[in-house]
Amino acid sequence: MRNGMLKKLRKLTKTGALVGVAVLITSCTPKPKEHVTITYNFPDDSTDRHALVREVIAAFEKQFDYIHVEPSFEKIDILKLGGKPGPDVFLADVDQLGNLAEKAAVDITLQITNDKKLMDAYYPEVASACKVDSRQYMMPVSYSTDILFFNVDLLQKAVAESRTYVNMQDLDFESIPKFAQAFVKKDGNQITRWALALPRPLLLIQSWGASPLAWNDVTINNELSRNALKFYASLLNEHHLVPPPEPQKDDGLDLFKQQKIVFFVGRTDDLAAVEKIKDFRWDIAPVPKGPKRMAPGMPQPGSMTPPPPTEIWPRHSRLSVNGNCIWVNSAHFAEAWEFTKFFSSAEALKILSRSRAGVPAAKVAAESLDFLHKPPDHINVLIEARTISRLDNMHNHSFWDEFSRSAFIDITGQLLEGKITVDDAIGFIEQIGKDLMERAKAEKKK
């Protein structure tokens, strides 16, 4: 009888232990996460890129099955929502980051700091561009630079007919008037093909070694800027190498596709459209150099003798970065951060890179065959151009767009039309910059 009681006791003990284990397992199993829908704004009118964005979203949702992402592709002004809810995550240009950091984007520095190796995946110039006052407000997606596109067939034909030599890979701006007349084609007195499209006036000013704005000052009034704007106007009014600027007509990319120009300084973003050209051979080169100039020499260690100046022949290119920000009023920050981080991953950027609309921000994606393949023949220019590129709005001025539009569209447009002189243009640009800078200072004091 005693043995029977012991057996029953052992049985009850085992049963109780199993029940206890089951209860423990049940209590330790995490509850399924609540399903969340977030919104994402990717302003772009290309249906090809829409499809790639949806492919990235599908890959994200497969990994994070409790998060649904609803994309939109129309262009919205995140700073002028008028009380309407904004997207949880939105793609923006880094030139807007100063305003966005102040009014619309979340500071993600803590998240970046917690994931110490996260930013190692990106080119340092691109990653640092996503900061304002050393704080991170954006995760990089792609970048673009200035590059030179040229028609290989028209170039070779013109060079052969004129018996000249042109190395597009080592071009400088000042040499263009000397050889580019050979590229101009006329039908009687009418020009039917020009040499190039007008370069951006700001690019020329920077290539000549000047900068229109410093941190808290306007620095346009100097001989370097004057010489750059003289060259700019001479391409149209003296050398007749460029078509007259008509805002409602075709831009440089369209003129290039129509073979109405031989070359133009475009953006890396233009590669998506140019690679579809089948009517002629084309290639790319670095943006042309500015004029040679003297720069301070490097002192020798331990030497008390001032170093002699050295001659430099630099290039300048505009760096532009697109990246994702999290809206400051998002109700789903944790989920928005997961999506923002995933969208900038090598996996996602390799998908997006198939459009070739900008260089992927992640090194692995940029240097993969998904993006870095021929055409063009000089494909490495796309990567190497980054090293000579700088942000236009490097000081994150909140008024940059207004200044740039007034100075380098309105004022320089009047210069081309002969309505004002170069000195007038410099004076007007300087005054516009000073007025905007004073206004920005006054607004900060409020």
pLDDT tens readout for residues 197-225: 999 999 999 999 999 999 889 999 999 99
Between helices 422-445 and 223-237, what is the axis angle to 10°?
130
What angle do helix axes 47-63 and 333-343 make, rounded to 10 degrees?
120
pLDDT in tens, 147-200: 999 999 999 999 999 888 899 999 999 999 999 999 999 999 899 999 999 999
Strand partners, 320: 144
- Mean pLDDT across 242-270: 89
Q: Which residues of 381-413 are buried (b: 16+ CB within 10 A; e: fewer)?
A: bbbebbebbebbbeebbbbbeebbebbbeebbe
Element (H, E) at 58: helix 47-63
Say yes or no to pLDDT of 369 above 60: yes
Whole-number Å distance between alpha carbons of 104 and 138 = 11
- pLDDT given for residue 31 in this prediction: 58
- Residue 399 phi, psi (nearest 5): -100, 15
Q: What is the DSSP string of 95-150?
A: GGHHHHHHHTB---HHHHHHSTTGGGGB-HHHHHTTEETTEE--EEEEEE-EEEEE
State the burial class of residue 259 (Cβ atoms within 10 Å of its Cβ: 0-12, 13-18, 19+): middle
Residues of the chain with pLDDT > 90, as a percent, come to 81
Burial 26-57 (b: 16+ CB within 10 A, else e): eeeeeeeeeebebbbbbebeeeebeebbeebb
Identify the residue whose tokens are 């690679």: 275
Predicted confidence band of residue 32 (pLDDT cuts 50, 70, 90): low
pLDDT digits (tens, 9 = 90+) for 52-81: 999 999 999 999 999 999 999 999 999 999
Q: Does domain 36-143+318-391 have CATH number 3.40.190.10?
A: yes
- Please state, rounded to an integer, the average pLDDT across all residues of the chain: 91
| Token couple for 304 | 């008390």
At 263, phi and psi to the nearest 5? -150, 165
What is the amino acid identity at position 200? R
- Structure confidence at residue 297 as a pLDDT band (50, 70, 90): confident
Better-predicted residue by pLDDT, 322 or 83? 322
Measured CA to CA, the distance from residue 157 to residue 183 in angstroms comes to 9
pLDDT of residue 33: 76
Helix (H, G, I), strand (E, B) or coil at 364: helix
User: How many angstroms separate the Cα of 354 from the Cα of each of 90, 114, 339, 393?
Assistant: 21, 31, 20, 29
Between 8-12, 120-124, 338-342, the lowest mean confidence (pLDDT) is in: 8-12
Alpha helix (H) residue ranges in 170-222: 176-179, 201-207
- What is the pLDDT confidence band of residue 341, given thresholds at 50, 70 and 90? very high
For residue 311, the model assigns a pLDDT of 85
Task: Tell me the pLDDT band of 29, cut-offs 50, 70 and 90.
Answer: low
pLDDT tens per residue across span 163-176 = 888 999 999 999 99
pLDDT at 13 over 60: no
> 411: helix, coil or strand?
helix
Predicted confidence at residue 210, as pLDDT, reads 96
pLDDT at 22 over 70: no
Q: Name the segment(s) of the chain with CATH classification 3.40.190.10.
A: 36-143+318-391
Selection from 137, 138, 233, 127 nearest residue 177 by Cα: 233
Comparing 120-129, 276-285, 302-311, 410-419, the range with the smallest average pLDDT is 302-311
